[in-house]
Amino acid sequence: MSIPSVDLLDFLSGNPVRKNDFVQQLGKAYEEVGFVAVKNHGVSDNLIANLYQYVQEFFSLPLEKKKSYEIAELAGQRGYTSFGKEHAKGSDAPDLKEFFQYGQVSRDNYKEEEYPDNVKVSEVSHFNKTFDDAYRGFEKSGTALLQAIALYLGLDEYYFDGFVHNGNSILRAIHYPPITHEPASAIRAEQHEDINLITLLVGASTDGLEILSKQGDWIAVTSLPEQIVVNVGDMLQRFTNNKLISTTHRVVNPKRELWHTSRFSIPFFLHPRSSMSLKCLEICVDETHPIAYPDASAGEYLDERLREIGLKK
């Protein structure tokens, strides 16, 4: 499937016509599909290549060493989460993956909420520095995309900026190991929607991502070179009273001849501060579209969802 493609340089160009065209293309895509491919996203190819290299080196470590970076009381917020710990909402079957999470480091004497420290990996040179650089790059790109979304919704352009600065965003490196025996299912990661505002996905080492169309068909999505795939999450869908779509997606197993291969994927889940209200926007509510969700803060909703997917008890 060819998902809509937009060029972030149009939004940042300073040309009002190009900027408005970008806003309308992005908004229309998020109303109709929920996914876009973004060109000129601002995160360098070299940084992305280094990130994938160090991620693969980390997941190649012995299991005992990786598990030394798994901290149970953090509920997967930071560090390593071992194979089979997470499952999709509504599914009891664990996803066939292990992952490592890197989170927010507060700036500007931020005191509203206390984030846990990131877990330092000593075996892979430049691992944490590269994660930090990538985190800030995706945060900057994501903020620009949210500025365009704000304009599309009729809000002030910088409406989201204060919420995502020091927000609870997560950079997650995922490893789907080789398939070593006949799997019980054709699915590596069950169908789900993301929790956050938007997700920025920089490529993947192999195909496997599928999205559910409005017609009920599963459509394969292939990342194009030099583009990132960006989709709407449930928080933004709630906030816009279903105007923007948090599209269901999944990861499927490769063809049998590729079972011996791993799949790596690195999404950036852009979250706001926990105090942000997800109350449905009044401009998205009318007689045809009554309020679909109860009021909640981003922190309350995140806590609820982490319990539903098995990361919190």
pLDDT tens sequence across 94-125: 778 899 999 999 998 898 888 999 999 999 99
Give phi and psi for 188, each to the nearest 5: -85, -40
* CATH code, domain with 85: 2.60.120.330
- How many domains does the chain contain in total? 1
Query: Would you say residue 90 lies in a domain?
Result: yes
Give the integer Cα–Cα distance in Å for 255 and 289.
43
pLDDT tens digits for range 178-197: 887 776 666 766 788 999 99
Q: Is residue 313 part of a domain?
A: no
192 in helix, strand or coil? strand
Asked if residue 54 lies in contact with residue 46, where contact means CB atoms within 8 angstroms, the answer is: no
In a domain, 196, yes or no: yes
Residue range 59-76: average pLDDT?
A: 92
Count of residues making up the chain: 313
Is residue 50 in a domain? yes
Residue 248 inside a domain? The answer is yes
User: Does the pLDDT at position 69 exceed 70?
Assistant: yes
Angstrom distance (rounded) from CA 80 to CA 63: 11
Residue 274 has pLDDT above 60, yes or no: yes
Interval 32-60 mean pLDDT: 94
pTM (2 d.p.): 0.92
Sheet-wide strand order for 187-192? 187-192, 249-252, 209-212, 218-220
CA dihedral 185→189→192→194, nearest 10 degrees, is 180
The residue range of the domain holding 11 is: 5-308
Handedness of CA 230, 235, 239, 244 (dihedral sign): positive
Average pLDDT, the chain: 90
